[in-house]
Amino acid sequence: MSCILVTGASGGIGAAVARRFAAAGNRVAVHYGSNRAGAQETLASLDGTGHALVSGDLADPDGAASIVASALQQLGSLDVLVANAAVAPSPENRHVIGESTYAEWSTVFRQMVDVNLLGTANLAWAVASHLIERSAPGAIVNVGSRGAFRGEPEFPAYAASKAGLHALGQSLAVALAPHSISVTSVAPGFVATPRQLEKLESDQGDALRAQSPFGRVGTPEEIAEAVFWLASPEAAWSSGSILDANGASYLRS
């Protein structure tokens, strides 16, 4: 049995990841930023016992440290960090050069970089430091994005923050390998999370499904399965890798 911290687990991919680890007999710390009700729903859905609920603002360095401290206090130790929490694209944070004001542009960049990149970096420092202190092997899995490679013209801050996250993971993979800590990333394409259902059911739905030759979008459970494998000891030799999970909707060389 391992102890897992999953950030952004109030719903969608994070909730599916938490359920996948719990189903395998692990104890899970379910993190949320503002959606406490969603996190409690995730917690209640987990198999087994001994799970925990943690909150904290990833945009605040002290908040990131408190998330790990709370998980450690409740679980006793941590073996795996799944860094899933992010400020995701939405109509409210769309920022296009030539359309957005400078204030809008700079604000969204600050928000996305603070959470998606810097917040994850701070979590990784805290979890890795705990593992090194214990002389224990472990794993960090970052949830990145296909957008880091193909670009996001309406949400460039999101793509930039996820590209930085992938690069961070590869740097940490080299730094932490001597401590038997693997670091990997998964890069999902479009996923049918609850917040995307309206878009999938709209006039955009067919175009989104057509991005993949499978004729559909991904599911949170498919991404969770990829994360679960990357966090396993059997995947340690894949440390430093970025696993594309986009249904062949974008192929990079």
Q: What contacts 169, CB < 8 A, 6 or more positions away?
A: 140, 142, 144, 183, 184, 185, 240, 242
Single-letter residue type at 114: D
Closest CA to 71 of 47, 41, 39: 39
Catalytic entry in 32, 102, 158, 250:
158
Is 250 considered catalytic here?
no
Catalytic residue positions, numbered: 158
